[in-house]
Every structure is written in C-alpha cells, then in structure tokens.
Structure 1
Amino acid sequence: MLGNEATIEQLERVINYTKTNDKPLLDVFKGTTDRGVPSHLIKCLSYFKLFPSNFEISARRLVTLWVAEGLIQQRGDDEETPEEVAEKYLSELISRNMVQVVERKLSGKVKKCCLPIALRQIWLQNNESLDHRLADHFDTHDQCFGHIHGEGSTMTRDLQNYKHLVSFLSFDNREGNKPGEEIGNFLRRGIGFGYFHKLHVLDLEGVFRPQLPDSIVKLSKLRYLGLRWTYLETIPSCIGKLVHLETLDVKHTYVRTVPNSIWKLQKLRHLYLNQRYRSQIMRHPSGSSLKNLQTLWGIFVSKDSPVEDGLDKLVNLRKLGLAFDLDESQQVALRKWIAKLNHLQSLRLRSIDEMGEPCQMFLESFAFLKNLSSLELFGRLKNTSVVDNLPDKLTSLTLSASFLIDDPMPVLEKLPTLTLLCLYGNSYTGQQMVCSTGKFPQLLVLRIWKLEELIELEVNENALQNLRELDIRSCGKLEVPAGLKHLKTLIELKLSDMPLAFAEKIEIEKKNFWDDIMYAPSITVSN
C-alpha cells in the first residue's frame, strides 16, 4: 500500500475494504509499515497530526520544524545539513504517496504539501502520544481549548498537564486582538508556573499579534520561534537570552529593528525578516558572531546599518536575501562580503530607493560563487558584464530592472544547468531576443514580463528542447514568434495583458505550430 507505486485512490480503497471486513485500519497500516517504511519516516509522518485537516503546510516550515524537534538522523561524517536531510525525508514520503504535493515553486521544488485525507483517517485512529506536543486548532472539542481560551481561574489547575511540553503550535487565525491576548495569557501563566521550560518549539505563525511575555526568556531550551504572519511590531529586546534558538521567523510582520542581543544567539541557523518594512539588525557588538547562521532573508541594509564589521562576519550563509539603499562607495563592502560566502546557494539582491524604485547596482562577477544555484537581481546593472560571469551551477535566474541594452540570450544560453529564467520589467530594453539552435537544453520555464520594447522573439530549431512553460506578460509590441512550432515539449503557454490581436493569432496558428505532436500545449489568456 505504501510503496512507490501506491496512489491516494488505493489508500481510499484499503479504507473501504477494512470497513466492510471489520478489520481495524490501524492494524492494516501497522502491518504495512512494519514491512517497508523506516521508523524515522514514520516519526516525521506522525508530525502531520499536529496540523489541521486539509492544512497546506509550507515545506520550508515543515522541514525546519522536523529539525528543531530532533526528528532528523544525521551521521557524524555527513556533510549535508540537517535541513538537506529533512528535505530528502520529505521527498521520500512524497515518492511513497504518503504525503501529497499541493504546490510547487517555479523551480520545481515543493512549496506546500499535506497529508492525504485517506491516510489522515488512519493516523487519527492511532492514539499513541505525540510526546508532549500541543496543537491549538481553536476547536471547542479539543481538551486544550479551555486551557488556552478559557478563563484564567478555570485553567490554572490544569496547566500541570503541560509540565513536560516540548512543542506548542497554534492555528488560531481569527481576526482581532482576542487570539493574541489568549495566547499571551496562556504563555504567561504556563511560564510563570514553570511548566513550559522544556519547550523546544513555539510556532505561532498566523496568530494575530500574540502578546509575548517578557518571561519568554525563561524558555532556555527553545530552538524554534515562528512568528511569521503575526504582524507583530516588536520582539522582546532580551531575545539574546534564548541561547539555543536555531530559527527566528518574523517575516510578514511589522518588525523594523532586531535588537543587537540577537548577536548572542550562537546556535541561530535561520533568520527570516521582513524586507518590505526594511527590517534591520542593530550594530554588531564586538566579540559576537552568528557563526552558524545559514539563512538570512529579508534584511535591509543602509548607511545606518553598515556591512563592514557587522554583517560581513556572517560567512557561512547558504541563503541570503537582502535589499539595500547604498551609494557606489558603500556597495564596495557589500561586494566584498558576498565574495566571502563560499557556501552560498541562493542569493537575492534588490537595490531600491526610499520609494522602493530600482537604483543602480555596482556589482561584479558572481563566477566565484561555485555553489550558487539561484540568483535574483532587482536594480539597474551599472556593470552589465555581470551577466557574462555567472556560476555554471546556476539553475534559476531572475532579472528585474537591469536595463540591459544587448540581448542577454547569447550569454545566458551558455549556462548548462539553467532550468528557470525570468526576465521581468525593464530587465532588457532591446527589440530582439534570439534563442539559438541547441541552446538552453535544460530550461523548463521561461517568463518574459513587461519588456515594453521587445518586438521579436526568435526561437531557432532545436532551441529550448525541454521547455514546459512559456509565460508572456505585458509585452505590447511583441509579434507572435514563428519559432513556437519548435517547442515540442511545451505544456502550457500563458498570455497575460497581451494585445487581443496577439492572442487571436496564437489561437489561429496553434494547429500549424503543433499539428505534428499528440498533445498541443494548453493556452491560457488573461488580462
């Protein structure tokens, strides 16, 4: 049932069979898992019980939680990070059809997943303990409902049930201040009575403005603090006392400044900030360094938050996403810092002014970043030769507001592993782009958006021979490319905000373009 060939429909048939034959579902499931599914995968799968039914779980969130919970087995000689091992666990569960992919990123990586309903029915019959883990679904039938959302006098005597609590997740997504107040009171009482001191995970993602008590610093074993989409304006200034913290997520909040005590978190591995609200880290105190930090995403850098003697101490990053408002001389330190990031896999840079409009980027070669696979650049490239010196391992490239004058395709087509290419507004200001014969052999997705001067897109024979998706948006002068007929692997052609005549001609010509293949691509037209 749970081998690689199993499907969700087969799981449902097993459930129906057991119902008609009076055989307990759990017995069937246990018999199967004992024969084939490793115990470490079963533990990871069990974790889905904490999430509400039909809940679409971010792969990023799930993987990081698994690591924080200690569910990942890592060999001593393993060069992979715990997160990379966790991603393999997730991939294996998906390949066994035990976890269902809900959404993928453009790169093909899993973005959201869920536990199939059929399998969830089996798990709910399993009354085994979740090892002192608590999930608040704001369900009046849950035993914990009154403890979290009831009156203080009625819940205090029951808090001893959570003396050994290691994880608390809340999915109370009601509007208004009530969720934040109730969660705050629950935490304040629990910490005050000394019952939450073993907590490893505190995940309040989506809870509106939870009132974090100052006593949160007593959670000395906390590894994961999830505050994404909470719209908090501040975080406790004493955050640096959570010395075992590995993940701090304040993305999609109003937090503008992270206190400098964060530099004391020597075990911190992932820090997610909110770039839109120009989140900055306070100045770096001497003698402190986040040497284990692997993810720094959403930070804003200005002349008031210098890179030198601060951020440039972070040299083990694998993912870096930042926006900056720096002049040419101030960008020198930024370039030098990035040049030291030998482990970097994903990089997003945005040069913006006070209004968020693109500014000049004084960048040089990225060829030295041998492990870089994903690159996003937003800003006017002062040195356009940057695109001539990209790493060979690059699989995903996004350019916006680059204002390239020369056709970038002859350079980009030399990247042997590129699978995703997005050319957004004003990335190229010329009139012609050419995809040469035999080039872009691995490209799966090509997006061409808001190239207002582009007239001709030439696709030569045997170019883009693996392309699955072509997305064209707001290119008002573009003529219908005759070379579309060469795209034999195309699955979807998306046209958005294109002239009516363009879409009509595509509809007329599609039989001529793809009459020699069994399945013509679907064509989606929208404004």
Structure 2
Amino acid sequence: MAEAIVNHALGKLADIVGKEISFLQGYHRQLDSMQHELRWIRAFLKDAELKRNSDERAKNWVNEVHDVAYRIEDVIDTVVAEVNNFNQPQMISVLNRVLMNPKKLPIVHKISEEINKIEKRIDEISQCVEKYGIRELGDGSIGGVKKPVMETVLPDTDETDVVGLQSDKENIIKLLLDPSTTRRCVVSIVGLGGLGKTTLARKAYNSYEVKKGFDFRVWVSISQNFKLIDLLVAIIKKIRPLKKDEKDLIKDLRKKQDAIPQRKGVEYFTNGLNMALRDKKYLIIMDDIWTEDLWIQVKGALPDFNNGSRVLITTRFSNIAMEADPTYNPYELPLLSDQESQELLLKKAFPNQNPENYLKDLADLLKQFTVKCGNLPLALVILGCLLSRKPPTYSSWNKVFQTLNWHVDGKKCMEVLATSYEDLPAVLKPCFMYLASFPEDYQIHAKSLIRMWVAEGFIREERNKTLEETAEGYLEELLQRSMIQVSKRYYNGSIKYCCIHDLLRDLAIEKAKEYGFLAIISNEAGNSMHATVRRAAQHCVCREIMDYTSPNLRSLLCFGDLPNFSRFKLLNIFSEMGKNKDVRIDNFKELTQLKYLVLCSYIYNDSKGSLWKNVSRMRNLQTLDLSNYSKPSPDCLWDIKTLRHVILPKTHGRGPPPTADLKNLQTLKTVCFRTLWQTKGLPNLPAIRVLRITEGINHGFICWETLATFLSRLHHLVSLQIKCSRNSYEMLDMSSFQGMQSLHVEGSWSLKKAFDVNLFPVHLLKLTLTNSYLIQDPIPILEKLESLKVLKLMQYSYNGKKINCSEKGFTSLENFELHGLPNLEEWKMEGGGMALVKKIEITGCENLQTIPELQHTTNLKELRLNGTSQDLLGKLRGKEQYKIKHVPSIHMI
C-alpha cells in the first residue's frame, strides 16, 4: 500500500511540475528534488512494508513515508484548487495584480512554507534508511520468514471433522481416474483461502481408489517464494532416497546463488525426475500455487507417457489453473450450504459430546454464527474451537456473538486471508481496500466502481488501453485471486455486479484503518474521523451523528442521509447512493475539484437550475450522473474537457454543440438530437463507446442522414440506443459497425426499406426492439445473427400472431425475452433451435396459447411466464408439463 501512495504522489508531482503555474515560480527545484527523493525511497518500500508487522523500525518508517506522501498531495491539490478559483471570471483581476509579485498572495506564502517543511522531512526519512538499518530489513518475504517449498508427509487417514466435501471428493476422484483421458493432464481446485481446497485434495489423495490407481503419489506444499530446485528435490525424495552426490549438490547450490549454477542444478534434477518417473503412472499434488509461471517452469520435469498420469493443483487464482491446463475447466469449490455450515460448527463446538441436547436453546444463535462466518469452513472451524471452550448456554454463546471481534478471536482466520492481501501487486491494494466503502452484502456496480478507481488515480496508464479497460483487468484479477465474487455478468462476459465476502470485507476495513485509507461512518461504529483521512463512506441514516469534519477528505460515498459536505473543498469523489428528499444544491458551490459526481435522488428543490451552474465550475469532472435531475443541461457543460462518462436526464439531456471537442468522452446517455447538427456540424467525440440518443421536445426530430454521418465517425462505438418518437422511420444500415455489441432501437419501422439481417452489425451480441410495430415475423431474419446472445422483443415490437424458430436458428442465443406483445398467439420452434438458450422470459403476452417443445433445449435453466393466458399456464401444469419439467427454475404467474 505504501508503494501505491508514493506512486500517487509522484504522479501528481510530475503533473504539477509540467504545468506553467505562476504560483510555483521559484519552487521547481524543490519539486524536482522531491521527485528524486521519493523515487529513491520507493526502492526500499516493498521490503519494508512486508516487514512492518514484525519489525517496529519498518512500521514507523513506512508510516512516515505515508505521511509525507499525503502532505505532498495536500500541497498540490491546494495549488490546483487555487488556480481553478483564480480562473473564474471574478478572480481574473486579482490574478493579474499578483502575477508580477506572487509572494504578496497569502496562499503562496503558506504553500512555500509547507514545501520547505516537506523537503526537510523527506531528507530526514532518507537518512533513516542508513541510521536505523532499514536497508538490511530482509529479503522481502511475508512475515519476515522465507518459506521454501517443502515436502509434507500426510497421514493416510481421512478427515472426520470436515463436512460438505463428499460429492466434491467423488468428482475429483473421477477426474483423476478418468480412463477416457490417458494423457498427463492437470486437475485444478480453485477457491478462496480457507474454503477447504487443501482438505478436499487431501481427501482425494488419501482415498482407497486413488491409492490403488497410481504407482506413485507425491504431495508438496508450495510457498509464495518457491524455488524450482526445492520443488524438484521434494518430488524426487518422495519417490526414492537422494544419492550422496545429489545431497552434496544441493548444499553447494544453496551456497552459490548465481544464475549459472542454479540453472545447471535445475537441469540435473529435471533429468533425475524424468528418470525416476519413467514408465510410471504417477499423481503429483502441488498445494497452494501462487504464481502463474510455476507450471511453465516445472512441466518439463513431469513426462507424459500417455498412461493416465495426473497432476492436481490447488490455487486461489483461476488464471493459474487455466495456464496449467486450458482444456480442463478449474474445479471451483463453492461455499458450504447453511446446513453444512451448522454441522461443521457443531462438530468443532462439541468435539466429544452430542450437541442434540443443546440445539433447542442455541438454534437461533447457530444460524447467526454461520451468517457471520459467511459459510467459510476456515472461519467456522476457528469459531467452533472458540465456542468449545465456553459453556453451551444461550447467555454464554450470545456473549461471544455480541463481543466477537474477528481481528482478535479470528486472528488465525484473518491471517490466512491476509496472505491474499499481502500478495496483491501494489496497484491492486488500494483497489481492494476501496471495497470496504460499500455496506455488507452490497451489490457493487462494476462500472461505477471502475470509474471511481479512475477518478481516485488508482489506475496506471497502459499502452493502447483506456484507463477503464485497464481497471476492468484489475477487477478480473481480484476475481481470479478469489478476493471478490461475481454476482452478474453482462452479455459480453464483463462483470456487471460483484460483491465481497464478509470476512474479506472485514480484512479490507482493517487494512483501510491501518493505513488511514478510509473511515466508515455508521450507526453501529464509533464515528471519530482522523483529520488526515482521505476517504469516508457514510452508511448511517441518523443526521445527528453525521457532523464530522476532515479538511483533507477526497472521497465521500453516501449510502444514507447526506451530511453537510460543503466544507470538503478538496473533494474529488461524491457519490450519493440513497434516496434523499432534500439534496441541498448550495452544498456543491465550493466543490470545484470534483472528478466524480453521482446523484441518485430526484432533485425538485432547484427551480433556478443552480446545480448546473455549480457543475460547470468543476473543471476536472470525469463522471457525471444526474439522470434524475429535472432541468435541461446547458451548453457550458461541454466546456469541461475532462469528461469521460455523462448520464443526463432522459428527457432533458441536451447534446454537445458542434464546437464541442470531447476527446475523452466514452459514455453519453441520454441526449436529444439537435437540429443545429444538420446546419452547423457535428461535435467531435472520437472516444465514444456507449451512446443513447433520442428525439426531444424543442431539440428537433432525428434526421437520419445526419445521424448516419454522426455514427459513422464513432469508430469505437460498442453500445447504441436510439429512441424515435415519430410514427415511422427508416432503419439505418449498421452493418459496417464491426465493433458494435449492443443495439436498442425504439420506434416504428418505415416500409421503404425491407427488414433484413444485413442491416445489423455482423458481430452483434445483444438486440432490443421496442415499439417497432413489425408485421412480418422478425425471428427468421434475426436468427441468422450468428453471434447474438440476447434478444429482447419489447412492447409492440411485433404485431403479428405467430413467431417461428428454425432448427438451425440462434446458434449462440442464451437469453430470449418477449414483453408486451398482446397479439402474439403462437410460438413454434423446430427441434434443435436455440440449442444454447439458458433463460426464457415472457411477460404481457396475454393471448399466447402455445409454446414450443422446450424439452429439446437442454441448457435451459430458467423459465419465467407472467401475464400470459390462463389456458397456456393450465397446459404447462397439466398435459404439456413434459415440455418444461427439465427446467430447474420455473416461475409462472
């Protein structure tokens, strides 16, 4: 985390040095010196931070580095704020008066003093590296002890105190002994730390079937700092005793750490392992792999004799599993069920007695404990051991529940989870801690999270990628490391909603407090907030405890009632997630530094449209979401060159004027078509990826020729929604939009152009039609879109009585929805059609009498029928039940 904080400060220093700011005339030498010293300090940070838990010198030094980096940020942000204020029209004359002699300005004197103090403090911190021996803190391994790969001798007995793994054990054994696959393949068990991956692998390893099925079985545990030679030697030792010359070679290699001897040693033991395994059917289990390149290094030592040999690995990271064997899907170990969780907790809480006598009194607490543990086996085991030392009474267990502190009582569990945090790259640590901002069990909107990360400055620029694309990669990496869970994905596979396990959220909160990264304001917790805190998450709904202050606050996320936040002049991020009835517009007057502004509430108390005036002063704004605001957007909004994502009121969003040059703008929803685009030209929006455009009162009807010209210039367009309110229009030819993935067209079709598949982008993944009033059945046309995954025919998109799917139609479709088609009576589908469909939803089709033989759609997982005819529901519950009885989830209303 320290490295991330320093990187952030360095980025701001580089940015400010490159700007011609009169305030800073005469200070460039000092700022350059700060940059140089911070880069030098950064070289020692990684090792020092890893040692901070075991070495007080390291802890104090790292904290000092945090402090000075934050102070640098404060100075820079204060300068930027003052410059922005001086750029306001009323301040121009003041700026001119002080330009020749800036020292007359009080703020310049204050900044000068602070720069001198920071420079002095940096010198002191640099000297501490030598003075207190920071340089010799160690080798950078976690916890101060470097753990080598080591052989583990496992008892040949099955665990009796674990539950919920019997079916998983059987599945793993089948994969290990599968007679149809004779090549040496890799089976992977993937899951969160503490979930039971090692226990499952051990159960399979010790099973009778596996013992009988292999000539050799070898188990090795892998540390985060493994050495390939140690791994090779550990495997060889399990197969045969080491020879004397091999023992001598190992001793010699441990003395000589040079690359050439190490490489020769690897080659020697690789050949030795190949010889030891020759013509043998072997099973090698490598437990807890942390790095993707391990398999690349070791696979050459594990020969494939095409005799059914296997390698089994356990890991927290799905990308490692895919690297090891792309043809085998990782076996993802799920959390325990509620019943299994209670069973495991009871086994640990009552190790030598029958718990049945106590269940009546403890049943409610038992459920609460399992919820607290999040069905995580490791947490349940630790809690069960704690309860086993308490009297089995309600009052005793309730006292444990009320006072339970996972940072103390669950220390072992948190230490296991903390290893996942310590292993994160520096760029991911602040991203992970940011998840602590969200309430427990909150469904986090991935796009919003990514935009906040970008506004915070967490994301590093990568060549040929937007910051958002890089951030999406960060999110996927957190998923691969089992640090988050996916709740829902978009049609294109990207994450839509994610959540964080409660224990990992506790870990994020603990780390955020430790580094002064975040304060959480809630009804339950103490709400004191240190003056240096940078971020706050407001979870409470009681205004009486919300009067907190922190002049350095940069980020404020509100999930409850709004506090008085107008004093936070350096605020970069403000997100209002609740539904507040009295959002005060004047609170935004001083927030000129905002980069991210989202208001979810409907704002009625701004008759003069003052909010837009305040927004126009936010010259660094990146994300703006005022979709529930009732006032039309002004043209001055588009003077903000930093805009990246803009979501406007659905009927009041005014599109950019022709003079707009918004090179960073990627999302634009919803804007009305402007007639002046036809006469005065089109705005320059080269980076647009998501566009929602509509006709609007006083903004002009859509001119399709102008719109076609506009769209043809948007080479990165991925998602487009067009809403037309006229009686009919001519469908645009969008076949040239190779990158478009989602298209939503609302409005009736003109009869001038035939409805044809060639009008649509060839790689379209999602299509929604609304109010199209088609007479011709669209299915025979749309089913030819080979990449289409989602099709939604919304209200009055089709006026006919029948739709018919062919046997070879919709080869990729996964989601099919019919909504508000009152004339539809019959849906037919030839056997084999929609082979991959997973969800079918039909609502508001009250005259629909028949649906097809869905028993042929073997991938169908969910069927929802709402507002269809009673006759149809009666058939599906009676004589036609055979059509849908294979579907796991059926909702019929």
Give 1:164's aligned residue: 552
Give the letter aligned to residue 456 of structure 1. E
1:484 aligned onto 2:854:
yes
Task: Give 1:128 shift.
Answer: 3.9
Cα-to-partner distance string for 1:238-294 (whole Å, 9 max, x where unaligned): 53332221111112x23331222212211101001120xx123377374x4222111
- Note if 1:295 corresponds to 2:678: no
**In the alignment, is the contact (CA less than 8 A) between 1:344 and 1:371 conserved in 2?**
yes
- C-alpha contact (below 8 Å) 1:238/1:261 kept by paired residues: no
Change (3 A) 1:386 1:100: same
- Per-residue deviation, residues 171-200 of structure 1 (Å, max 9, x unmatched): 224xxxxx4xx43xx31xx25xxxx32x32
Query: For the residues of structure 1 that align with 2:376 and 2:545, how far apart are their CA atoms?
Result: 42
Name the CA shift for 1:306/1:229 in 2 (closer, same or farther; >3 Å).
farther
Q: CA shift at 1:306, angstroms?
A: 5.0
* Aligned mates of 1:290, 1:338 — CA distance in 2: 15
Counterpart in the other structure of 2:309 = none
Aligned residue in 1 for 2:9: none
Q: Is the 8 A contact 2:794 2:819 kept in 1?
A: yes
The residue that corresponds to 1:260 in the other structure is 635
Write the mapping of 1:90-109 to structure 2, written as runs, cut at 5 A: 90-104=475-489
AA aligned opposite 2:646: L
Q: Return closer, same or farther for 1:171/1:451 CA change in 2, 3 Å cut-off.
A: closer
**Structure 1's 481 and 243: CA in aligned 2 closer, same or farther, altered over 3 A?**
same
Larger helix fraction of residues: 2
The one-letter code sitting in structure 2 at the alignment partner of 1:166 is R
Q: 1:279 pairs with 634, 641, 652, which one? A: 652
Q: Determine if contact 2:757/2:785 at 8 Å carries over to the other structure.
A: no
Tell me, yes or no, if the aligned pair for 1:259 and 1:282 is still in contact at 8 Å. Answer: no
Which amino acid counterpart does residue 219 of structure 1 have in structure 2? T
Kept after mapping to 2: 8 A contact 1:107/1:420: no
The answer for the alignment partner of 1:365 in structure 2 is: 733
> SS of the counterpart of 1:366?
coil
Cα 1:215–1:385 change in 2 (3 A) is closer
Counterpart-to-counterpart distance in 1, 2:553 and 2:701 = 52
Q: CA–CA distance in 2 between the matches of 1:514 and 1:329?
A: 44
Gaps spanning 5+ residues in structure 2: where? 1-191, 194-315, 318-331, 337-373, 387-408, 530-537
State the shift of 1:411 in Å.
1.6
User: 1:27-42 to 2 correspondence within 5 Å?
Assistant: 27-35=415-423, 37-42=424-429
Contact 1:454 1:477 in 2 (8 A): yes
2:377 matches 1:13: yes
Larger deviation, residues 164-173 vs 207-216: 207-216
Question: 1:138 and 1:413, CA in 2 relative to 1: closer, same or farther beyond 3 A?
Answer: same
The match for 2:470 is 85
3-state SS of 2:612 partner: coil
CA distance in 2, matches of 1:481, 1:87: 40
State the alpha-carbon separation in 2 of the partners of residues 290 and 264 from structure 1: 8
Aligned length: 486
Distance in 2 of aligned mates of 1:449 and 1:282: 30
Further displaced range: 223-232 or 17-26: 17-26
- 3-state SS, counterpart of residue 494 of structure 1: strand
Contact (CA 8 Å) 1:404, 1:427: kept in 2 or not? Answer: yes
Q: Give 1:448's match in structure 2, choosing from 782, 797, 818.
A: 818
Structure 1 stretches lacking a partner, 5+ long = 174-178, 354-358
Does the aligned pair in 2 maintain the 1:399–1:424 contact within 8 Å? yes
Q: Which letter does structure 2 place at the counterpart of 1:239?
A: V
Q: Distance in 2 between matches of 1:316 and 1:408?
A: 33
Deviation, structure 1 residue 425 = 1.8
CA distance in 2, matches of 1:128, 1:297: 37
What is the one-letter code of the residue matched to 2:673? Answer: V
Q: Note closer, same or farther for the CA distance 1:137–1:264 as it changes in structure 2 (3 Å cut).
A: farther
Alignment of 1:72 onto 2:439: no
TM-score normalised by structure 2 residue count? 0.50
Identity in percent:
26
For 1:283 and 1:113, the matched residues in 2 are separated by 33
Give SS of 1:281's match.
coil
SS at match of 1:472: strand
Deviates more, 1:339-348 or 1:481-490: 481-490
* Partner AA of 1:70 in structure 2: G
* Higher strand proportion: 1
- 1:55-454 equivalences in 2 (<5 Å): 55-75=442-462, 77=463, 79-104=464-489, 110-126=495-511, 128-129=513-514, 133=518, 136-137=521-522, 141-144=526-529, 149=543, 159=549, 162-173=550-561, 179=562, 182-183=563-564, 186-187=565-566, 190-191=567-568, 196-197=569-570, 199-206=571-578, 208=580, 209-213=582-586, 216=589, 219-220=592-593, 222-231=594-603, 233=606, 234=609, 235-251=611-627, 253-275=628-650, 278-281=651-654, 284=657, 286=659, 288-301=660-673, 303=675, 309=680, 312-325=683-696, 330-352=703-725, 359-382=727-750, 383-385=753-755, 387-454=757-824
Residue 433 of structure 2 contacts residue 511 of structure 2 at CA under 8 Å; is this kept in 1?
no
What is the alpha-carbon distance in structure 1 between the residues aligned to residue 754 and residue 785 of structure 2? 17
> CA, structure 1 residues 489+324, in 2 after alignment: closer, same or farther (shift >3 Å)?
same
For residue 460 of structure 1, the aligned residue among 817, 830, 846 is 830
Q: Which amino acid aligns with 1:330?
A: C
Distance 1:329 1:214, change over 3 A: closer
> Is this contact kept in 2: 1:441–1:466, CA < 8 A?
yes
Residues 314 and 510 (structure 1 numbering): CA distance in 2 closer, same or farther, change over 3 Å?
same
Cα pair 1:26 1:125 within 8 Å, conserved = no
> Matched residues in 2 for 1:346 and 1:282: separation?
17
The alpha-carbon distance between structure 1 residues 470 and 422, as it changes in their structure 2 partners (threshold 3 A), is: same
**Greater displacement, 498-507 / 234-243:** 234-243
**Alignment check: 8 A CA contact 1:18 1:25 kept:** yes
Q: Give CA-to-partner distance per residue, 1:93-112, whole Å, 9 cap, x none.
A: 33444223344557765433
Which residue in the other structure is 2:840 paired with?
Answer: 470
Any idea what SS the aligned residue of 2:823 has?
Answer: coil
Compare CA radii of gyration and give the structure with the larger one.
Answer: 2
Q: Are the structure 2 counterparts of residues 504 and 82 from structure 1 closer, same or farther at C-alpha, using a change threshold of 3 Å?
A: same
Q: Deviations over 1:69-110 (max 9, x none)?
A: 1222332x2x23222222233233334442233445577654
CA shift in 2, pair 1:289/1:133, >3 Å: farther
- How far, CA to CA, are the matches of 1:395 and 1:372 in structure 2? 8
**1:413 is matched by which residue type in structure 2?**
E
Whole-angstrom CA distance in 2 between matches of 1:438 and 1:313: 43
- Equivalents in 2 of 1:510, 1:522: separation in Å? 17
Distance in 1 (alpha carbons) for counterparts of 2:415 and 2:845? 59
SS of residue in 1 equivalent to 2:890? strand
1:129-187 CA-partner distances (Å, limit 9, x unpaired)? 565545554667322599x95699xx6xx74xx233221222224xxxxx4xx43xx31
CA distance in 2, matches of 1:438, 1:410: 10
CA 311–17 in structure 1, closer or farther in 2 if over 3 Å, else same: farther
Map 1:44-59 → 2, pairs under 5 A: 44-59=431-446
Please identify, of 82-91 and 98-107, the stretch whose mean Cα deviation from structure 2 is larger.
98-107
The question of whether the paired residues in 1 share the 8 Å contact of 2:819 and 2:842 is answered with yes
Give, in angstroms, the shift of residue 374 of structure 1: 0.4
Task: Identify the range of structure 1 (392-401 vs 255-264) with the bigger mean alpha-carbon deviation.
Answer: 255-264
Give deviations 1:27-78, integer Å, cap 9, x for gaps: 322334445x444333322111112222222222112111111222332x2x
Q: Does structure 2 retain, via aligned residues, the 8 Å contact 1:436–1:460?
A: yes
Counterpart amino acid of residue 559 in structure 2: F
| Deviation (angstroms), 1:502 | 0.5
Given that residues 655 and 672 in structure 2 are in contact (C-alpha distance below 8 angstroms), is that contact kept between their aligned partners in structure 1?
Answer: no
